[in-house]
Amino acid sequence: MDRRDFLKLSAAGAALTAAAGCDSSAPASPSGARASAESSPEGSPGWGDSVTSFPFEEWTVSQLSEAIASGEQSVLSITEAYLDRIDAIDRRGPTLRAVLEVNPDARSVASALDRERQERGPRGPLHGVPVMIKDNIDTADGMTTTAGSLALEGTVALEDSTVARRLREAGAVILGKANLSEWANFRSERSSSGWSGRGGQVKNPYALDRNPCGSSSGSGAAVSANLCALAVGTETDGSVVCPSSANGVVGIKPTLGLISRAGIVPLAHSQDTAGPMCRTVRDAALLLGALAGVDARDPATAASADHGHADYLPFLDADSLRGARIGVWRARFGFHERVDAVLETALATLRDGGAELVDPIEMPSIGEIGAAEYEVLLYEFKADVNAYLAKRGPDTRYRSLAELIRFNEENADRSMPYFGQEIFLEAEAKGPLSEQAYRDALALCRKKSRDEGLDRVLAEHRLDAIVAPTGGPAWTTDLINGDHYGGGSSTASAVSGYPHITVPAGAVFGLPVGLSFLGGPWSEPRLLGLASAFESATAQRRPPRFLLRADLAV
């Protein structure tokens, strides 16, 4: 299936966000490391201490906070260790290219947080915790916000996004901006997940020839590779959950309106949201609580006053599976027999934990969404990106989609070395959001995803959640042909605006595979409880080994 077919016709939903490729400008691995890796029968690279000596590998928020509280570590010492890790793993060694730029103020911010803690105590659980945010999230500081595009290179936002502001208020240290699929992977029909003009190609830390999925590819790879303790991605359809699954981490795509979109480079307002990407459910719940809440800059957040929570930890219960009714979305199985085997083991864990499985449930209406969803995204992208660019600061030269298209044409050798901008051209041809074609497509999407989709199935079977495979094992990065998806389950939640949580469930030849929990609007507390109980029972998260290629001997 090529990208046009996926975007227009598929509702399987592995992600509207993927792309695969390599950047010819990426620094080469040290010759000694490459020789060692290629001579090893296991294919395990000889990266040496750059990979194995990191003192905070797999450390949780709680462990970092306890080390700071005890005086064993300071915010500054932890920040410097992560910056050194980025230099060793992202810039050298495996050269993941997951980080577009580091925060030049990170050390001074860390020092200030150390002083504040000594004088007044911690702000909360995230005080001093290093976080990476996707490069479509505005920061009014020493970092740029470019959505990975050379057209916005060097430009700085006038104001913090609400996500960045909330992170700072919580005391987190923003380490830097994560690489991503350029323009959230909505530029070309044959794009490469994780490739951007600014950052080149993000690599999957489990096997460097494999794709990290997108568009929050850098966020997923960075937190998986322990380049940060927490990460923030964004999703329109699959862009949080797919890279979370492919990089072996927990991802939360929340209910639309739980987290403010103000100051985030848009794709489509009817589906866009930021979301946590972390190594544990507990850390993801902590980050979700810090990000959630009402924001006057985003009217969609008004409903979160009644439905959101500042603290999601009370909902994490290892016994949450007992008595739960969980639907099994069998239509999302069957694209890979080894993924099916991982998921069957996961279903057995759910049963053993006391859940009652309704197997199967059917949602045929989701398969009728594809073309309408694509139509909605084309219309909204043009309207939303034009509105966003018009408000950027004076250093922004390109202030409309039409001007971005012209920039790409004039700089094709740098901006479009591997794939074009067909989607940009299709979006630019659309009219205003008042057109009937847009309104009809949006109405159909809501009807099929909500009324005839998740709302109907959840009510009909009295379900707490629905489970399905998040996606398949990471595919080989392919610059010539672009992405080759397996399958997935992102579209129902993405189009409806309902929550979706993915948790590591196992691996196929050493490549992670996630289990998805889908629910109704504002069901994050229940989904987090179920996801936490599953995680506690299985503990399938494994740190990556930075192999040059997938280990077929596994």
Q: Report residue 309: phi and psi, to 5°.
A: -140, 140
Sign of CA dihedral 344, 350, 356, 357: negative
CA–CA gap between residue 226 and residue 99 (Å, rounded):
12
Helices and strands (DSSP H and E) totals, the chain: 21, 13
Written as six digits, the tokens of 461 are 């079977």
Q: Under a CB-based contact definition with an 8 Å cutoff, are residues 524 and 499 in contact?
A: yes
Other CB atoms closer than 10 Å to residue 360's CB: what's the count?
Answer: 13
Written as six digits, the tokens of 42 are 């296991």
Other CB atoms closer than 10 Å to residue 123's CB: what's the count?
Answer: 16
* 53 annotated active-site: no
Torsion of CA 494, 495, 496, 499, to 10 degrees: 0
188, 239, 244, 415: the active-site residue: 239
**DSSP H helical ranges for 261-322:** 281-291, 304-307
Other CB atoms closer than 10 Å to residue 499's CB: what's the count?
Answer: 28
65, 181, 188, 215: the active-site residue: 215
CA–CA gap between residue 165 and residue 123 (Å, rounded):
14
* 188 annotated active-site: no
Residue 127, SS3?
Answer: coil
CA–CA gap between residue 325 and residue 358 (Å, rounded):
7
Question: Secondary structure of 55-108 in the HEC alphabet?
Answer: CCCCCCHHHHHHHHHHCCCCHHHHHHHHHHHHHHHHHCCCCCCCEEEECCCHHH
Written as six digits, the tokens of 165 are 């502001």
* 203 annotated active-site: no
The number of C-alpha atoms within 13 Å of 224 and in the hemisphere containing its C-beta is 34
Give the residue from 417, 447, 423 showing the smallest Cα distance to 374.
423
Q: Under a CB-based contact definition with an 8 Å cutoff, are residues 70 and 31 in contact?
A: no
10, 29, 134, 260: the active-site residue: 134
Catalytic residues: 134, 215, 239
